[in-house]
Amino acid sequence: MTDSAPPRSRETSLADGSYIRKGFGLKAEVQDTLAADYTGQLVDLLRSREYTLVAGDTTLRLAKEFGFCYGVERAVDYAYQTRRKFPERRIFLAGEIIHNPHVNAKLKEMGVIFLAASGKGFDYSGVVPADVVILPAFGVTIQDFQTLRDLGCVVVDTTCGSVLNVWKRVEVYARDGFTSLIHGKYYHEETRATASQVEKYPGGQYLVVRDMNEAEMVMEYIEARAGTPTKRPALSRDAFLEKFARAASDHFDPDLHLDRIGVANQTTMLARESLAIGAALGEAMARAYGAAHRSEHFRTFDTICSATQDRQDAVVELLGEPLDLMVVVGGYNSSNTISLAALCAEQVLTFHIADPDEIDVAHNSVRYRLIGPHHAESEQTSWIPTLGPLRVGITAGASTPNNKIGEAVARIFQIRGVDPTTLV
């Protein structure tokens, strides 16, 4: 991820000294604590041995890109610096700093107070001007930021630079009269923050689609209004509004706001699907109104962050090898981890675990998230064969610290009868 500065108006919208985006210069002071909390010896060993550990007939392969990305490291680092800078002040966090249960639990242990969601933003009713509020890597809505500006408290902004780049794209769409069609999850903090950027301009509109199936509903509506035959009957206006009631701007009207479309995406979605949605929507606009109309009324850009893309590419490369199963480590609410698990499940038996504690060595069982949209969890015994040759692949989402990846590696070897300490 890259770290780009926010627009000048945002940076100066709070009182001098109360808006912090570049840390407090305390990185060296918190570095030892961060290293103790999040480094992993087995991960370092895997890196040094070409991402491979072998013990007897057990081989474990780690994807070459995995775990904490720059944006996540920066967010966690700034949260630790904030605690060090303001030891006596109340420190609040708007939601979760990242989607990892261990990192968030550690911040709670440090006395950071997590603000609850309220509507499309967070509940700041308990915050007073003397307090400090940390904004997460996902960012917050412009309404949240306005509330904090009015409060006058210190704001530490850890919003990822890749997210800011998407915001700039969406803001330009709204300025130019284009509806922002966002590939993402309407309830995700990042997508809510991104969608809110359209409100910087009067009449700005957005629509969030979760996947290609929902994008096709949009395309069918566009083509049906133009009199173009569609693969299946298009939704009526009322049915469309009901379907996307929670995923569209307050005054969105499909009869008015699907004429000019600009595509963006939540940075952690499956990259190939985002690209496919953009391409398909452009083709639908051309079928409905002609190539000239598409050229003037349609825009699309790949706004998947480089770290997300790198992790997906590394998994695809690893899946080219013969593997018996894949383990994906990361929070169940981590979108980029879910995307990695979905990629893996297309090729090999895959277990998405939030945490190495989900692996019970004594009983050779695992609790894991089923691959799919419903967030269901399951448990399986004898999930790893204890005899015979075995090749296991492992990766982790961008919010998973190395120590948790290493713990998962250790437990896998323990089930196979290998003492992890003998691997070093």
- Run of H or E including 129: none
**pTM (predicted TM-score):** 0.89
Task: Tell me which residue has tokens 């005899």.
Answer: 387
Q: What is the pLDDT of residues 207-234, one digit of tens each?
A: 999 999 999 999 999 999 999 988 889 9
Instruction: Please give the domain boundaries of the chain with CATH numbers for all domains.
Output: 38-68+306-423 (3.40.1010.20), 70-159 (3.40.50.11270), 163-300 (3.40.1010.20)
Cα atoms found within 13 Å of the Cα of residue 289, Cβ hemisphere only: 17
**How many whole angstroms separate alpha carbon 354 and alpha carbon 100?**
8
User: Is the separation of the CB atoms in 57 and 388 below 8 Å?
Assistant: yes
Q: What is the pLDDT of residues 101-125, one digit of tens each?
A: 999 999 999 999 999 999 889 999 9
- Run of H or E including 216: helix 212-225
**How many whole angstroms separate alpha carbon 206 and alpha carbon 147?**
22
| Average pLDDT value for residue range 353-379 | 93
Classify residue 8 by burial, with Cβ atoms within 10 Å: 0-12, 13-18, 19+.
exposed
Q: What is the pLDDT of residue 303?
A: 82
Active-site annotation holder among 190, 220, 273, 407: 190
Q: What is the pLDDT of residues 325-358, one digit of tens each?
A: 999 999 999 999 999 999 999 999 999 999 999 9
**How many whole angstroms separate alpha carbon 164 and alpha carbon 406?**
32
Q: Using alpha carbons, select from 412, 378, 382 the residue that is nearest to residue 394.
A: 412
- Extract the tokens encoding 127: 């915050």
User: In whole angstroms, how far apart are CA 323 and each of 209, 250, 354?
Assistant: 33, 48, 21
The mean pLDDT of the chain is 93
Q: What is the pLDDT of residues 2-61, one digit of tens each?
A: 444 443 334 334 445 599 998 999 999 999 999 999 999 999 999 999 999 999 999 999
> Is the backbone of residue 50 left (phi > 0), alpha (psi -120 to 50) or beta?
left
Phi, psi of 288 (to 5 degrees): -75, -40
Provide the residue type at 254 as one letter.
Answer: P
Question: Is there a catalytic annotation at residue 321?
Answer: no
User: In whole angstroms, how far apart are CA 107 and each of 39, 77, 178, 286, 398?
Assistant: 16, 11, 40, 50, 18
Which is more confidently placed, 307 or 396?
A: 396
Q: What is the CA radius of gyration of the chain?
A: 23
Say what the alpha-carbon torsion angle 269, 189, 222, 174 is, to the nearest 10 degrees: -110
Q: What is the pLDDT of residues 243-289, one digit of tens each?
A: 999 999 999 999 999 999 999 999 999 889 999 999 999 999 999 99
Strands 58-62 and 390-396: parallel
| Average pLDDT value for residue range 142-152 | 95
Say what the alpha-carbon torsion angle 270, 272, 275, 278 is, to the nearest 10 degrees: -70
User: Is the separation of the CB atoms in 190 and 163 below 8 Å?
Assistant: yes
**How many whole angstroms separate alpha carbon 336 and alpha carbon 342?**
10
